[in-house]
Amino acid sequence: MSAPNTIRSLHLLSDKKFLPWIKRTFSLPNWSAFYIVLNPNQKNYSHPLEDNILEVSADEYGEKIILESLHQYDIAFHYFLDNMKAEIIAKSANKILHYWCFYGAEVYQQTSLFRNELYGVYTKRILRVLPEIRFRYDLRKFYYKYILFKKAPVDSLQAAIPHIHAILWYVEEEVKLIGRKINLPPWQFFQFFNVVDIIPPGTKTTNTKSKKILIGNSATIENNHADVLPGLLEIIDKEYTFSLPMTYGQFARYKTRIKTTYSRALNDRVTYLEEHLELDEYYQFLHEHPTAIFLHYRQQALGNILYLLYTGTKVYLSENNIIYTWLIKHDIEVFKFEEAFQSDVSTNQLTLDHASIAKNQQNIMQLLDHQRNDITIRAIENEIFSRKNKQK
């Protein structure tokens, strides 16, 4: 049984792979933690994985188990605020504090708030012939309302927000950007990883003599692959090759179309990474790319971007991406694809010099290795103890 002054925390997540990070983050003095993993592939299911880890089905059965257990906790952390977690928040009593551990995809992929702001000119043309992507938000809303008889994700999100004490994330600029579209809970800084999770000890540097260019991080349309291609065709030097990671992405026709388009344009100079690699192998793969282009108009692939910048890769982002603004604010050398790539091709400046690499390494460490989490933890503890004293 927990001591009277122990903060009892519940952590709800949808993927077991994040458990090590979360457990390390909340191994705190005077805190106890219980973890519930929501499994969408099970029905009417509940199974303990460890003493303090329970896996339940992501359905009404699992929801009931969670709602009935909430009274045991002072605080609940929701990692990726999907429909089920939002419903749990909206249905729960006000005695427990709810914190939204932000990912980004819960807004960009579950709602249509940014649907007209994510795609470049050529990618929009592809959207016209892929209705499964173009109308996915409308189809999702229809599916939830008329097949599942539940609220659509955006409606569940809006119903949950008034009951959320704070949104936790480490890029304040992004929270402000989203706040222009939908009212959000108050923002508090929190970084759900240690610097060694992004930059492991012994991390090697990029092979700057390589002529491989990395394009995006997945087979999702938000990579704007079609808008990258015209820039690649400006490269006259045929020794350059191009790598497209495509290990995940739910729309098969988009992936097929991009592979066909790139192969026709670049022939055997383009390769596709379609199998998941072990982490060490993936790092080795990244190290062979001294140039990388991530043409997302939204926050995506942030872990990859930070890692590549640290190892010495010259990274091009879209000028529309709030992460570009955030990195520049922290004096990290990153480049606008729309403005800089073509001129860098003509002047053969597609890699960073040693001084720029050293500068990025120093500033990324300053950005990620800090004590700001401690400030937020103290604020959370004060809020919980204040509420407990009022309830006495």
Q: Degrees (nearest 5) of the Cα angle 159, 185, 111?
A: 55
3-state secondary structure of 335: strand
Tell me the pLDDT tens digit for each residue of 21-31.
Answer: 899 889 999 99
Tell me: pLDDT of 1 over 50: no
**Count of CB atoms situated within 10 Å of the CB of 330:** 12
Confidence grade of residue 390 (pLDDT, cut at 50, 70, 90): confident
Nearest to 18 by CA among 40, 36, 41, 44: 36
Tell me: pLDDT of 269 over 90: yes
pTM: 0.94
Tell me: pLDDT of 117 over 90: yes
Tell me the pLDDT tens digit for each residue of 82-106.
Answer: 999 999 999 997 789 999 999 999 9
Tell me the pLDDT tens digit for each residue of 36-71.
Answer: 999 999 999 999 999 999 999 999 999 999 999 999
Residue 369: both structure tokens together: 């290795």
Confidence grade of residue 368 (pLDDT, cut at 50, 70, 90): very high
> Rounded to an integer, what distance in angstroms lies between the CA atom of residue 275 and that of residue 278?
10
**Count of CB atoms situated within 10 Å of the CB of 338:** 16
**Exposed / middle / buried, residue 127 (Cβ in 10 Å: 0-12, 13-18, 19+):** middle
**Element of type H or E holding 57:** strand 53-57
Tell me what pLDDT residue 5 has: 81
Average pLDDT over residues 309-327: 98
Contact 67, 88 (CB under 8 A): yes
* Pairwise pLDDT comparison (259 vs 369), residue with the higher score: 259
Tell me: pLDDT of 2 over 70: no
Q: Please name the residues in contact with 145: beta carbons below 8 A apart, sequence gap of 6 or more.
A: 151, 152
Contact 290, 260 (CB under 8 A): no
Tell me the pLDDT tens digit for each residue of 206-246.
Answer: 999 999 999 999 999 999 999 999 999 999 999 999 999 99
